[in-house]
Amino acid sequence: MRGEDILNVLLDVEWVVGSFVADATGQLLLHQMPPEFGEQELERTTLRLASIVRCAELCELGVEQCAFSLNRYQLAMTRFRGGFLCVMVEAPVNRRALEMATRIAVEALPQLVDSLIVAPSSAPEEVPPPRRAQPEREGEGGPTLEPLHTETGLEPLFDAEGDGPLPNGPLGNGGVSKGNGADTLDSEDDDTP
């Protein structure tokens, strides 16, 4: 069966708006949808659905079928070996007829998906190693980066080694930050609670 023939089986069910098929990674393979549903939107949708399925599997939940309510439409997704089939329907759809048509489509889809997936013609390209950040200056202890406060004009909160607050900085000498930019000093002379 051709892809168009498989999806036509679903369109024969009253209140079916359209359908589309993706491989297990979420790559859109074929679709038969009204023009108001663009290919880019369908591609985004299939990637998101594949992500939802992967998340469910990581939580050790088996996902074979699921349904989503989208305004006036419902999206029914059914998994098969190598991918998933999505059928967009309106609420009055005959669920029994939809289930039978979906079963017929799902039986033929694995072979079709296998024929649509192109085998790689060459070995995968090597991924280049990550680039290291180039230090702006070299110190005695090896490469270091310029402190952020020299570029922004803000006072540093901690010393360069990260051991604690600077003695004369905003948090030094008992300074307490209120989180709103105003600092106060803790003092024994202060009578406020």
| C-alpha closest to that of 97 among 9, 17, 18, 21 | 9
pTM higher than the cut 0.85: no
Q: Digits of tens for pLDDT over the chain (193 positions)?
A: 688 899 999 999 999 999 999 999 999 999 999 999 999 999 999 999 999 999 998 998 888 999 999 889 999 999 999 999 999 999 899 999 999 999 999 999 988 888 877 543 333 344 444 444 444 444 455 444 444 444 444 454 445 554 555 555 544 444 444 444 444 444 445 555 5
Cα distance between residue 30 and residue 164, in whole Å: 59
CA distance from start to end of the chain: 80
Q: Which two tokens stand for residue 149?
A: 């406060």
| Contact by Cβ (8 Å): 30, 42 | no
Cα distance between residue 160 and residue 68, in whole Å: 53
CATH topology of domain 3-116: Beta-Lactamase (3.30.450)
